[in-house]
A and B are shown apart, each in its own frame.
Chain A
Amino acid sequence: MKNILLSLVVASSLFAADHVVDQKGKTFIPHAINVAVGDTITFKNSDPFAHNAYTDDEANEFDIGMQAPGKPASAKVLAAGTFSVECAIHPNMLLEVTAN
C-alpha cells in the first residue's frame, strides 16, 4: 500500500506542469491561464523595470516580491478555484487563474 501511495505522489509530481507568464508592457501575457493543483506558475519579467506579482486568494496566497528585469520567479498552485493575480506596483495588470 505504501508503495502504491508513493507511486501516486511521484506520478503526481511528474505530471505537474509549469506555466510561464510574461510581464511585458505592464501586462501579463497571457492574461488568463488554466492550471492544475500542484502546477507552478513561472513569472518572467521582460520589462526594463520591476514588477511584483501577488494574489490575496486565501487558498493560493503568494507574493513574488520585487522582481527585477530578467529574473524569473515561481509560485505553486495549492488549491482549486479561480483567482486573480495583480502586480503590487501596477494595479492595472491582471492575470486570471483557473485551477482545477
Chain B
Amino acid sequence: MYTSSKHKELPMIVRLGLSMIIVAMMASSLQATEDMSKWLRPAEVPQPKDNKLTPERIELGKFLYFDVRLSSSEKISCATCHHPKQGWSDLEPTPKAVGHEGAVGPRNSPTVLNSAYQSRQFWDGRVKTLEQQALGPIEADVEMNMDLNVLIPKLNAIKGYVDLFEKAYPGEGLTKKTLAKAIASFERTVVSTISPFDKYAMGKKDAISNKAKKGFELFKGKAHCIDCHDGFNFTDGSFHNIGLRDGELQGKDLGRYLTKRRAAWYGVMKTPTLRDAEKSAPYFHDGSAGTLHEVAHVCGNGGRFKHNVKNKSTYIEDRKLTRPELSQLVSFIESLTGPDMKLKIPTKFPQ
C-alpha cells in the first residue's frame, strides 16, 4: 500500500497541528454551510405513520381538493379559498374569506403552502395535523357548509371516487377518516419551490439584489423579524398578539384564547410563513394590510396600536425602521417568492 513518506517525515507535533488546522477549516466551512442551510426547505416532508404519501393518495386528494361537489352549494371547493394562483390563499383577495352563499368568514384565508411542516394548523392553532384540519372548512357553515353525514354517502355513490379510495386506502373504505387523509396527502405536496433567496443561500451570491441583501441583514438584526419568522419556512410557528387592535377584544377575534382561556393566548395568532407572501395579499389574520410594506411597518415599528393593547406581544417593539429600510425588508421578502409549483389542476372529476 502506498503511504506518503512526506507526512511520515513530519514531527508528531507538527502533524497534530496540521490535523487540527485542517479540522478547524473543515468545521469552519461546515459551519458556514449550516448557517445558510437552515434557510433551505428540508427535502423530506413530515408524514404521519398511518398516512404515508403515495401517488394514489396524492392524486385522489388533488381531485377532492378541487372538487366543488364537496360543498353543499356545489360551487365551492378547498381551492376557492386556498388557490394556487393566489399563493394558495383566497382566489378573491378579500380581507376575510367569502364562503357559502356569500357568507363572510371571521378570518383571512391562510396559505396552505408548507403547512405540512407546521405543528399547529389554522390561525389559532386549534389542531395539530392536516388530517384534523382537512374536514373543518368542509363542515363550516360560512365556508363549504357541507354535512359530512351527507357528503360521505354522496361520494360513495360516485363509482370513480370509490375506486380511487380503494386504490389509495385498500380495505379502509370511503369514510370521514380516509377523506381527511386523502386531502391532507395532497396538502402535503403543496411546498415552496426554489426562490432567488434559496439560490443565494446555496451560494449564488448574485441571485438576489443588494437591496434584498440589506433587507436580509435587517431581517436578522435591527428589525428582529427573525425572532418569529425563523427557519426555512420563515416562521417558528409561534403565537403573538401583534397589536392590530387596541384595548379589550370584546366582540372581536380572541385567537388562540378561543381554544383555551390561557392568559398568554389572549388575541394571539400563529406566525405565518413569509415564503411566497408576495402572492397572497391581503395580510394578517384579519386581512387588514394590503401590502408587504404595511406588514413590515406594523410588525417592525411597534404594531398598528402601540399602546393600550391587552396582551400585546413583547416581541413587537418600535424598531424605528425608516422608509428605505422597510423597502429593503420588502425586497428581501419578495426574494422568497419562488416559481409556481408544477401542478395540473383537474378539469374533469371522478364520475
Q: Which residues of A contact B (CB under 8 A)?
A: 26, 48-50, 52, 54, 56, 63, 65-66, 68, 88-92
Contact = CB atoms under 8 A, between A and B. Distances in A.
A90 B262 contact: no
Closest A-B pairs by Cβ, 4 of them: A88-B264, A52-B264, A90-B238, A50-B314
30 contacts: A26-B230, A26-B236, A26-B238, A48-B227, A49-B227, A49-B314, A50-B315, A52-B264, A56-B260, A63-B262, A63-B264, A66-B264, A66-B314, A68-B314, A88-B239, A88-B262, A88-B264, A88-B265, A89-B238, A89-B239, A89-B240, A89-B264, A90-B236, A90-B238, A91-B120, A91-B125, A91-B238, A91-B239, A92-B119, A92-B236
Nearest to B264: A88
B285 to A, nearest CB: 16
B255 to A, nearest CB: 12
B237 interface: yes
Interface of B: 119-120, 125, 227, 230, 236-240, 260, 262-265, 314-315
A52 B315 CA distance: 13
A94 B68 CA distance: 39
Contacts of A66: 264, 314
A95 to B, nearest CB: 15
Contacts of B264: 52, 54, 63, 65-66, 88-89
Contacts of B260: 56
A65 B311 CA distance: 12
A62 to B, nearest CB: 12
